[in-house]
A and B are shown apart, each in its own frame.
Chain A
Amino acid sequence: MHTFRICCNKGVHPLAYFPDQNAVAINLQQLLRSAAGLLLAGSLALPGLEAAAAAPAEIQKSLETAARASTPGFGGLSAERGQRFFSSTHGNDWSCTSCHTPTPLAPGKHAKTGREIAPLAPAANPQRFTDAAKVEKWFNRNCNDVLGRVCTAQEKGDVLAYLMSLAK
């Protein structure tokens, strides 16, 4: 702890106003933290509305639209093709099932860290495929890990069709 003194000709040590220097330091720390928190919360809230929650069917619809636009001779999304895609490896060590298990109605487990992963099928986990940004984030990451590239809209749409076909 610092021990230097400030001399005072008025007989009052400036720090004598504070009974406990540590308490002051800690309170200041908390104060600074909450001030920073408020600023951060404010800056996050300001840019306006976050993406509204979507239903899995809406996300599937937009994947289907994208697939139709990018796939010559597009013949619709297929749950069956999605299941094959989901359970196959694609040149790397992992398949989707490495983490999400062959039964996406059940909880999965991160292949590397062992962290539990909530069920992927909307029937078992209503929060799945309701946030378009989150869906994109995870498709990007996981397609890179499993295929070494991004997935096509058709592949993503097929997988979602498969996951939505699963009932509890």
Chain B
Amino acid sequence: MNNTSKRWIFDSVVWSASLLFLFGLLLDNALADSKGFTASNNTWKAECASCHMAYPPNLLPAPAWRRLMAGLDKHFGTDASIDARSAAEIGAFLENNSGQGKRRGSDSGTLRITETPWFQRKHDEVPASTWKNPRVQTAANCSACHAGAERGDFDEHAVRIPR
């Protein structure tokens, strides 16, 4: 084998390794728990936000979104059926941006974000009286305390609990 082909082999190995490394970085970014959520999709926003806040996809793991999208005709007590094309688009967006990692990525079986173990752990210091506050009413009302919730911003330092 001459030097040129050796160099070619070496270069291709190094470059494929670098590509793998870059994909590793991508994955690392995607898995980061602390980062705000910025991805968006017009169909997701329009459809989900017509009845409630468009809950960011990274708050539930992919299997939960799959089950939720399969049962839109009985969506927490109301019919939220949608045409097949929009359902496919929204489902893909939700799964592609779903919760990852040990906590948010694990499926506890619930479809309610507020019933997931990580949500309960994050809110375990919130007293029962706060949830009953008329300005909060329900744990599903993220914006009552997280002003940036609609933008996917749940920064702990920006939490303002109404009194």
Residues of A in contact with B (beta carbons under 8 Å apart): 1-2, 4, 6, 8-9, 14-15, 21-22, 24-26, 28-29, 32-33, 40, 110, 112-115, 133, 137, 140-142, 144-145
A25 to B22, CA, bound (A): 7
- B24 closest partner in A (C-beta): A2
Kindly state whether residue B133 has any CB partner on chain A within 8 Å.
no
Q: How far is the CA of A6 from the CA of B21 in the complex (A)?
A: 10
Query: Which residue of B is nearest A32, CB measured?
Result: B26
Alpha-carbon distance between A79 and B67 when the two chains are bound, in angstroms? 41
Chain A residue nearest to B73 (CB atoms) is: A144
CB distance B29 to A29 under 8 Å?
Answer: yes
CB-contact partner of A29 in B21, B24, B26, under 8 A: B26
In the complex the two chains form, what is the Cα distance from A34 to B51 in whole Å? 28
A141 CB contacts on chain B under 8 angstroms:
78-81
Q: How far is the CB of A7 from chain B (nearest CB, A)?
A: 9
Smallest Cβ-Cβ distance to B47: which chain A residue: A137
Given contact pairs A25-B22, A141-B81, enumerate 17 new A-B contacts (beta carbons under 8 Å).
A2-B25, A14-B17, A14-B18, A24-B22, A24-B25, A25-B28, A26-B29, A40-B89, A112-B78, A113-B52, A114-B141, A137-B81, A137-B83, A140-B81, A141-B78, A141-B80, A144-B81
Residues in B with CB closer than 8 Å to A24 are 22, 25
Does any Cβ of A come within 8 Å of B70's Cβ? no
Q: Give the docked Cα–Cα distance between A32 and B96 (Å).
A: 12
CA of A33 to CA of B37, assembled, Å = 13
Task: Tell me the bound Cα distance from A131 to B127 in angstroms.
Answer: 46
The reply to whether the CB of B161 lies closer than 8 angstroms to some CB of chain A is no
**21 A-B interface contacts by CB (under 8 A):** A2-B21, A2-B25, A6-B18, A14-B14, A15-B18, A21-B25, A22-B25, A28-B22, A28-B26, A40-B41, A40-B89, A110-B51, A112-B51, A112-B76, A112-B77, A113-B52, A115-B52, A137-B81, A141-B80, A142-B79, A145-B79
B52 cross-chain contacts in A, Cβ below 8 A: 110, 113, 115
A145–B74 alpha-carbon span in the complex (Å) = 9
User: Which residues of A have CB within 8 Å of B89?
Assistant: 40
Shortest C-beta distance, A44 to chain B (Å), equals 8
Q: Is B9 interfacial (CB-CB < 8 Å)?
A: no
Q: Which residues of chain A are within 8 angstroms of B30 by Cβ–Cβ distance?
A: 29
- Residues of chain B with a CB closer than 8 A to A15's CB: 18, 21
Report Cα–Cα, A145/B76, bound state, in Å.
11
Given contacts A2-B21, A14-B18, A40-B89, contact A145 B78 (CB under 8 A): yes
Could you say which of A9, A33, A142 contacts B39, with CB atoms under 8 Å apart?
A: A33
With a CB–CB cut-off of 8 A, which chain A residues contact B50? 115
Cα(A21)–Cα(B14), bound, Å? 16
Q: B27-43: contact bitstring with A at CB < 8 Å (1 yes, 0 no)?
A: 01110000000010100
| Chain A residues near B41 (CB-CB < 8 A) | 40
Bound complex: CA of A145 vs CA of B79, how far in Å? 6
Q: Which 8 A-B pairs have the closest CB atoms?
A: A25-B25, A144-B79, A113-B52, A141-B79, A14-B18, A14-B14, A2-B24, A6-B17
